[in-house]
Each structure stands twice: as C-alpha cells, then as structure tokens.
Amino acid sequence: MTKPLIEISGFKELEKKIKSLANDKVKNREVVKILNQVANPTVKAAKNLAPVSRKHHVQKRKGQRFGTVISPGTGRRSIGKKTMRRSRNPMVIVSPRSTRRADGWYLRRFVIRGTKKIKSNPFIDKAYEQTKGGVTKDAEQKVSKYIQKQINGLSK
C-alpha cells in the first residue's frame, strides 16, 4: 500500500465549527452590516434619478376630508434601505419607504409601475444597473474578508 502524500489533521473539527457558524445570528448581523454599507451607492444613485414634482400638490386618500399637502422632493427623501428580517439569507432592499419624514407611497404605487395616463419610470432599476458592478465586487471582497477573519479565529 502507498502512503498518502498529505495528511490533514483537525479537518473534522474545523468542519464542525464552520457548520456551527451557519445558523449564527452574529454572522447574519455582520453580513447585513456589510450589505448596508454596499447598498449606499445604489441609494445615492436612486435619489439622483428619482423624479421631483415642480410644485406642491394635495393628496387625498379614501375617507380623508381635506387631504395632505405634498411638497416637491418627498419621494426622493423617502428612498432608503430596508433589511429583510424574515428571509432565510441576509438581504437588504433599496426602495421608497413610508416614514413620518417622507411618504414614498405615491412613488411606489404610480411612478415606478406607471398607469394608463402616466408612463412608468423604473428609476430604481436604472440606479441598480449603474452601481451593479461596484456593489458586487465590494460585497464579495468584504464578505471574503469576514469569512477569512472567522477562519483565523477558528484556527486558534
């Protein structure tokens, strides 16, 4: 019988440790931090591409008597990031949000999708296309750096 050229010791223990990291909340938290940092250029590009109204207008919803005065730029201010907590994999989404500061409902409902009278304006898709190359490279580098840090910690 021939002898193996390379013998690896401790591989099973390392494999168990890596598998134990798979469901770790700390790992998910770190990856979400990385994704939030990487999503910043896309948010910036989406805010620059978002359409802005020329004047103030009143938005009335069902059951409202007077309506709400919407100032120009409200949709632009509403664009932000959201962490998807219930997804299996860590995920961050860039989209118009509804907050006290700015209501992105109109932007989500009518501007991006379009209507019979209004042509659709998929500015979020355009922003993603502008920043896609940088986002993926940056995320790949940061995640690999984090994984290497974890492996170095396990080998001690």
What is residue 4's predicted lDDT score, i.e. its pLDDT? 52
User: Is residue 105 in a domain?
Assistant: yes
Integer CA distances (angstroms), 4 to 1, 7, 35, in order: 10, 7, 43
Say yes or no to pLDDT of 128 above 80. yes
Top pLDDT among 149 and 44 is at 44
User: Is residue 98 in a domain?
Assistant: yes
- Per the CB < 8 A criterion, the answer to whether 103 and 78 are in contact is yes
The pTM for the full model equals 0.68
Q: Give, as one character, the DSSP assignment of residue 24.
A: -
pLDDT tier for residue 48 given thresholds of 50, 70 and 90 = very high
Assigned token pair, 111: 């501007």
**Residue 40 domain boundaries:** 24-155
Top pLDDT among 71 and 55 is at 55
User: Is residue 3 in a domain?
Assistant: no
State mean pLDDT over 1-8: 51
Q: Mean pLDDT: which of 12-16, 39-43, 132-136 is highest?
A: 39-43
- Per the CB < 8 A criterion, the answer to whether 38 and 138 are in contact is yes
Q: How far apart are CA 138 and CA 131, in angstroms?
A: 11
